[in-house]
Structure 1
Amino acid sequence: MDWHLRLLLSLLVVFAAEATTTKHMKDFIRGVESTEAVNPDLQMLDVVKGLRKAAGFETNLIKQYLGDLSDAHDLVSDPSVTSYVNEVINHSLSELGKEKGVVLTLDGSNVALAPMLLGLEAGLQSTVQGLYPLTLTHNLVASFLHHVHNEKNTLSFGTKGFWDSISSPKVYTLSDLPSLATDALIIGGIDGFILGSEVSTSNHRERSLSDLLKSYYSHQPDAAGLDASPRLISQKRRMNFKKLVSFSLLKSQMVQALTVRPNLNETERKRLDDVINEGFDQFVHVYAVCPNIISRSQWGAAAFIGSPSYLSLPVPYLFIHHTYQPSKPCTTFDQCASDMRSMQRYHQQTNGWSDIGYSFVAGSDGNLYEGRGWNWVGAHTYGYNSKGYGVSFIGDYTSTLPIKSAMDMVRYDFTSCAVNGGGLSSSYSLYGHRQATSTDCPGNSFYREIQTWEHYQSYLP
């Protein structure tokens, strides 16, 4: 047997054995690397188109902007590999709320591969006019339209989900009413828009696909966190998206796409206009104003013990904490999620509380972690739990500060998100935990810092 063929077969066997075990981005990248190893002369565009051909992923919309696949290379022939590629690229939702075509990334994001690869292909083909419809416009339009006809049983967009296992993800299940444009599909679209924009105007197209995906999705911050990290990484998705996208153009394309929709009566048309305006504003709020919020189901929270109490919104106060223990800042999703579970166990099992006490927790990985969340009374600041949010930073900040990106995430992004979303009063007052009770929290160094923040008040009534 020719050694090239033996190498190909061995790589395919390894890929099939390893990649089909979990739905993680690193498995997909490993498969791409295997393909590139036996096709060393192929350019990134050839590999992207070949993967799409292997998955049989071709629609009229795709043909309109990217052409057909008649010139695409046959990259894989092993049935198990073809099956895996088909499963992870083709996006679908089942009636039981299972979402396929989604992978978990190292930063904790859930990414639908289809819109990411389509955006990348559009950029590589210099088909920039296809970036919006292939990554975001079409999916949002379909989701809004579907919601108009099924308002009681769907969300307009952005349904999140959770994996059966964070360490070994295989099945992804929606955690709320379905939407055609799920959170994973939107995140994949945003990544496709970013990467497509990047390769269309730079020398990134000379790189291999696996190298580009690895540098974007597999970056591991060091002790300095995101402050010392490169620009083009998934942890900086929202920052890059806001710099690249034209929200006015995105909305105008959506409106234009919906004006040609037939079979809508006057009432449905009026409702659709309302859904577009409300939904688009909410889309901008969630994916451009707010930080990336890791839901309880995403970090693996245990159930609330008992019955939670509602907050009366908007709350007037925001209290800043540090966890003290864990004392070390977390710089990766895995570490931060583990810290969240550890704190929740301590609060529930040792303190005897119903749940983790904080409303939200800031990691040094670029994520904000949902604790009690927007609507429920916490256990963070004695005497003020029903009057404010408690946001804690993972780490001990007695003699040092959180990284700048984590502080900015709370100081600017979280507060804007909370005020715009109606959770926090626009005239809110900000305090350190020590101002409400006898404690050193949030640490001497950090307390000095927050005294320079907007809305800080020295007097707590």
Structure 2
Amino acid sequence: MLLLLALSVCAQPGTGLPPRHMDSVVQIVEALEASEPGFTVPELARALGGCGTPGCRAVLGEPPDVPAAPPALPGEQWLLFTQLLRRDDDDAAPEGGAVLAPDGSTVALGPLFAGIEVGLKRATGCPTPTIEPPIDALYAVTIAEALGTSFLLARGADGHQATLGPAGCWDDVDDPQNYTLLGPPSPIPDAVAIGAMDGVLLGAQLAREPIPLAELLRGYYGTGNGTEKGRPPSSYRRRDFGVLTGPGKLEEEVVAMLRVLRELPPTQELLEDVGPEEMVAIARQAARDFTEVYVECPAIVPRCMWGARPYRGTPKPLTLPLGSIYIHHTFSPSDPCRTFAACAHAMRAMQRFHQDTRGWDDIGYSFVVGSDGYLYQGRGWHWVGAHTKGYNSKGYGVGYVGDFSATLPDPDTIALVRDELLPCAVRTGRLHHNYTLRGHRQLGHTDCPGNSLFHEIETWHGFK
């Protein structure tokens, strides 16, 4: 199968392996860097199968032989590392090969380490194979081959084949072992998209300023499940990837990679009837869709990731597109949540209050806004909420975690809704382009969303 990353099988219960968390990877990398000075970790990742596709092999060369288990690495850590990177074409399930990061996102290690290897080669002046037509190796080994292949394979399908996504959920965020997708897999499930973006960002950073890999990963992702230090740089990946990539860059690199794939024996047949104009059209669609989903639209943490209880009763469907947005603050919790752990805790507390005290079927909001850079799915895009009495079927209820009577959310947190969620909802057909935006107090006897936040939303597009 032509996938950028064919992810390995999930861990089996009772294996005693370390959790599939980025903290575990950082510990492994640290041990390897200390004990194996002549063998870089990205090269080891490639040897184990993290870069097995034709394009990746063309750019970085044939993988080295798999070495023996390093003596300094405990057997369970070596087994975890090999499971996360092993490529098996007979079992190319996208549930494995990924780890949970402290910011709550899920990262595939194959494209992450491939991008890091390109960055290291650039930093040390180590050449990569010369390829015609010329390509940007950093994009080629992370996202360009995957994007081109995904949209190329979909072109002859019935129009319903997935090209991007879906997201997934872990069995236990404190001890993640098994990751399950929430829908039909594409060649680029969310974990691969996130790993690719991180591979580009960290590869570019290393090319400018080489530092030990464990230090790089710890600085970017944070440690300890994000409970101590607030937002890590990884929570800004969408913004930073968009800035680094720039308009047209992704399309340009997908076109270049498709041209390379047309010359490689394993993929020649796949592209033999694809002309230059169609190749450009495929790349344009791929770049446009990827940018909309992973750069312009915000990340939304699914219910199963924050530990939601089941919905009680039968949810009522919304009729889309809706015409209104209603802005709330939670008031309680009164403090903004700045980490995945804190926001997930706040979501569970609100759902308990709404179900057990208020007697509602579920948490009332459609979406909840954390100050960790993420939105959290409440009732979501398709189901009537319980946020604005008398108006629940007419609009989405979006609640900011915190009491914003006297203070404002962080500028990034304001922009998450104003500049990302609302335009995304319009582009994807969930919200009318001429929607109306109101604060909760305009439609009920309440101070919600607090004086400070209300005066802020008076300046937003659509406010009436």
Q: Quick check: TM above 0.5?
A: yes
408, 414, 418: which one aligns with 2:425 = 418
Identity percentage of aligned residues: 39
Work out the CA distance in 2 between the residues paired with 1:64 and 1:264. Answer: 17
Work out the CA distance in 1 between the residues paired with 2:311 and 2:239. Answer: 33
Residue identity opposite 2:215 in structure 1: D
In structure 2, what is the equivalent of residue 90 of structure 1?
Answer: 86
**After alignment, is 349-358 or 67-76 more displaced?**
67-76
SS at match of 2:269: coil
**After alignment, is 144-153 or 317-326 more displaced?**
144-153
Q: For the structure 1 residues 18 and 174, does the alpha-carbon distance in structure 2 shift closer, same or farther, using more than 3 Å as the test? A: closer
Q: Deviations over 1:142-186 (max 9, x none)?
A: 222344466588411111111111111100011101111111001
Alignment of 1:100-179 (within 5 A): 100-126=96-122, 129-148=136-155, 151=158, 154-179=161-186
Q: Deviations over 1:221-242 (max 9, x none)?
A: 879x65xx7xxx1011011101
Contact kept in structure 1, 2:252 and 2:283, CA below 8 Å? no
In structure 2, what is the equivalent of residue 191 of structure 1?
Answer: 198
Q: CA deviation at 1:258?
A: 4.6
SS at match of 1:369: strand
42, 54, 60: which one aligns with 1:48 = 42
SS at match of 2:390: coil
Q: For the structure 1 residues 280 and 52, does the alpha-carbon distance in structure 2 shift closer, same or farther, using more than 3 Å as the test? A: closer
Work out the CA distance in 1 between the residues paired with 2:324 and 2:291. Answer: 25
Q: Deviations over 1:392-449 (max 9, x none)?
A: 0011112222112111111111111111111122222211101100011111222222
Q: Number of paired residues?
A: 429
Q: For the structure 1 residues 90 and 63, does the alpha-carbon distance in structure 2 shift closer, same or farther, using more than 3 Å as the test? A: same
Q: For the structure 1 residues 70 and 262, does the alpha-carbon distance in structure 2 shift closer, same or farther, using more than 3 Å as the test? A: closer
Residue identity opposite 1:111 in structure 2: V
Alignment of 1:268-347 (within 5 A): 278-347=285-354
Q: Is 2:454 the counterpart of 1:447?
A: yes
Residue identity opposite 2:46 in structure 1: R
Q: CA deviation at 1:304?
A: 2.0
Q: CA deviation at 1:288?
A: 1.1
215, 222, 235: which one aligns with 1:218 = 222
Q: Higher RCO, 1 or 2 (CA under 8 Å, sep at least 6)?
A: 2
**After alignment, is 268-277 or 77-86 more displaced?**
268-277
Q: CA deviation at 1:51?
A: 3.9
Work out the CA distance in 1 between the residues paired with 2:366 and 2:164. Answer: 24
In structure 2, what is the equivalent of residue 12 of structure 1?
Answer: none
Work out the CA distance in 2 between the residues paired with 1:440 and 1:257. Answer: 55
Q: For the structure 1 residues 37 and 434, does the alpha-carbon distance in structure 2 shift closer, same or farther, using more than 3 Å as the test? A: same
Work out the CA distance in 1 between the residues paired with 2:61 and 2:278. Answer: 35
Contact kept in structure 2, 1:397 and 1:442, CA below 8 Å? yes
**Unmatched segments (≥5 aa) in structure 2:** 1-13, 123-127, 129-134, 263-267
Q: Is 2:27 the counterpart of 1:34?
A: no
In structure 1, what is the equivalent of residue 249 of structure 2?
Answer: 249
Query: Quick check: which one's helix share is greater?
Result: 1
In structure 1, what is the equivalent of residue 240 of structure 2?
Answer: 240
In structure 2, what is the equivalent of residue 8 of structure 1?
Answer: none
Q: CA deviation at 1:71?
A: 9.7
Query: Once superposed, what is the RMSD of the aligned Cα atoms?
Result: 3.2
SS at match of 1:427: strand
Q: For the structure 1 residues 55 and 31, does the alpha-carbon distance in structure 2 shift closer, same or farther, using more than 3 Å as the test? A: farther
Q: CA deviation at 1:87?
A: 1.1
Alignment of 1:73-88 (within 5 A): 76-77=70-71, 80-88=76-84
Work out the CA distance in 2 between the residues paired with 1:159 and 1:83. Answer: 27
SS at match of 1:52: helix
Contact kept in structure 1, 2:48 and 2:87, CA below 8 Å? no
Q: For the structure 1 residues 247 and 318, does the alpha-carbon distance in structure 2 shift closer, same or farther, using more than 3 Å as the test? A: same
Work out the CA distance in 1 between the residues paired with 2:40 and 2:213. Answer: 10
Contact kept in structure 1, 2:51 and 2:111, CA below 8 Å? no
Q: CA deviation at 1:250?
A: 2.2
TM-score normalised over the length of structure 2 = 0.83
Work out the CA distance in 2 between the residues paired with 1:192 and 1:80. Answer: 26
Q: For the structure 1 residues 160 and 326, does the alpha-carbon distance in structure 2 shift closer, same or farther, using more than 3 Å as the test? A: same
Work out the CA distance in 1 between the residues paired with 2:273 and 2:204. Answer: 38
Contact kept in structure 2, 1:49 and 1:72, CA below 8 Å? no
**After alignment, is 142-151 or 310-319 more displaced?**
142-151
Q: Deviations over 1:281-312 (max 9, x none)?
A: 32211111111111122222222222222222
Q: CA deviation at 1:193?
A: 0.7
TM-score normalised over the length of structure 1 = 0.83
In structure 1, what is the equivalent of residue 131 of structure 2?
Answer: none
Residue identity opposite 2:243 in structure 1: K
Contact kept in structure 2, 1:111 and 1:188, CA below 8 Å? yes
Q: Deviations over 1:359-383 (max 9, x none)?
A: 1110010101111111222111111
Contact kept in structure 2, 1:50 and 1:74, CA below 8 Å? no
Residue identity opposite 1:218 in structure 2: G
Work out the CA distance in 1 between the residues paired with 2:408 and 2:141. Answer: 42
Q: CA deviation at 1:67?
A: 2.8
18, 22, 33: which one aligns with 2:19 = 22
Q: For the structure 1 residues 50 and 272, does the alpha-carbon distance in structure 2 shift closer, same or farther, using more than 3 Å as the test? A: closer
In structure 2, what is the equivalent of residue 13 of structure 1?
Answer: none
Q: For the structure 1 residues 367 and 81, does the alpha-carbon distance in structure 2 shift closer, same or farther, using more than 3 Å as the test? A: same
Work out the CA distance in 2 between the residues paired with 1:159 and 1:354. Answer: 26
Residue identity opposite 1:38 in structure 2: S
Q: CA deviation at 1:314?
A: 2.1
Residue identity opposite 1:82 in structure 2: W
**After alignment, is 87-96 or 421-430 more displaced?**
87-96
Alignment of 1:200-215 (within 5 A): 200=207, 202-203=208-209, 205=210, 207-215=211-219
Work out the CA distance in 2 between the residues paired with 1:268 and 1:159. Answer: 30
**After alignment, is 180-189 or 30-39 more displaced?**
30-39
